[in-house]
């Protein structure tokens, strides 16, 4: 790593400056080149597609002070793309065989390049009185370059993408038809552009896009007790209780359960039985299907876990568990009656694969 003054930095060999690899987004970094600002079309409003908010004055000042203190040759410079139609003109210019003036003449453009990323950095450089800087010349389609613009911010903690920025970019791709309007496609594109983001961020962003873009959902998931209660209130043909309340009509307590909580539910049911002599009924649900496990297989796994827990309790002297497993909440829209529970032990519950 070398930290140089601006004057010394602008004199280094471009090969000494780090160059990004965007091959995972199908964009090629051709070369680092020093380019005068007056040869680059730069407009934050029309070209910055992946940010809801542009840079703040405080951010520009921070960048300005950072450049004043020195420039790191191992930090990637801004990125540009050639606007001309003849790529041979670009190749000749990159090899130093034609001048800046000749490139302008051949393309018929005073600004034969367009800024892809580095808007804030350029603004700070101009504030410092600079007239030129090193840029990475990129090659890719507009869609691919927009992906790079979105991904590039992930490397800058002060301007890392907010979730609203991710949603903006992915929604643009859906609305323009560049990716299919399906949850699977959205998740796949998120992972491709933002590979270092955790599952919780991905889940929130994808869920928001699904709602905002009205993405069809072949499977229903129950992410909270409130969501289950909505199903009971608005769709179920019968009334159930899910929070451990007494269902006077059935003379049982009612609870809902997702994967991983069976033991707790059984223990609580045993305690209710000891205190009141009443059983507890259970409404169960599972998560969305994955490549490794369908909804049917997840249900079957939960039932197997229930049977194993029954054996554990029986080994401790409890002959019968005070639990009624009422069924699974309906989740497969094309196969199941979305107004009724899916009974335990039915063919639908145990089918090997979902229609996914």
pLDDT in tens, 47-99: 765 554 566 788 888 889 999 999 999 889 999 999 999 999 999 999 999 99
**Digit-coded pLDDT (tens) for 18-36:** 999 999 999 999 999 999 9
Task: Give the model's confidence band at 200: pLDDT under 50 very low, under 70 low, under 90 confident, else very high.
Answer: confident
Mean pLDDT over all residues of the chain?
A: 88
Residue 54: predicted pLDDT: 64
Q: How far is CA 272 from the centre of its chain?
A: 42
């Amino acid at each position: 790593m070398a930290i140089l003054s601006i004057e010394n930095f602008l004199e280094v060999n471009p090969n000494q400056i780090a160059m990004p690899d965007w091959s995972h987004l199908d964009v090629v970094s051709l070369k680092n080149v020093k380019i005068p600002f007056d040869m680059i079309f730069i407009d934050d409003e029309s070209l910055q597609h992946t940010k809801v908010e542009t840079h703040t004055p405080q951010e520009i000042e921070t960048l300005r002070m950072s450049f004043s203190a020195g420039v790191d040759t191992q930090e990637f410079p801004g990125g540009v793309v050639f606007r001309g139609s003849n790529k041979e003109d670009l190749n000749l210019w990159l090899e130093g065989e034609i001048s800046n003036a000749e490139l302008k003449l051949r393309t018929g453009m005073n600004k034969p390049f367009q800024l892809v990323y580095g808007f804030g950095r350029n603004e700070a450089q101009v504030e410092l009185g600079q007239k030129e800087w090193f840029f990475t010349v990129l090659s890719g389609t507009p869609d691919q370059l927009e992906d790079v613009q979105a991904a590039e911010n992930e490397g800058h903690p002060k301007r890392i993408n907010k979730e609203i920025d991710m949603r903006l970019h992915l929604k643009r791709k859906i609305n323009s038809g560049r990716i299919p309007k399906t949850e699977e496609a959205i998740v796949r594109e998120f992972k491709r552009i933002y590979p270092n983001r955790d599952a919780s961020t991905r889940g929130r962003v994808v869920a928001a896009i699904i709602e905002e873009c009205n993405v069809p959902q072949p499977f229903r998931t129950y992410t909270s007790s409130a969501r289950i209660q909505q199903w009971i209130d608005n769709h179920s043909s019968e009334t159930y209780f899910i929070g451990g309340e007494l269902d006077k009509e059935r003379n049982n307590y009612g609870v809902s359960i997702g994967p991983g909580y069976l033991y707790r539910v059984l223990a609580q049911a045993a305690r209710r039985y000891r205190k009141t002599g009443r059983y507890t009924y259970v409404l169960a649900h599972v998560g969305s299907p994955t490549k490794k496990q369908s909804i049917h297989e997840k249900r079957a796994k939960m039932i197997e876990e229930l049977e194993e827990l029954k054996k554990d309790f029986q080994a401790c002297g409890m002959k019968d568990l005070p639990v009624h497993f009422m069924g699974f909440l309906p989740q497969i829209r094309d196969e199941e009656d979305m107004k009724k529970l899916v009974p335990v032990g039915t063919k639908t519950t145990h089918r090997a694969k979902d229609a996914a």
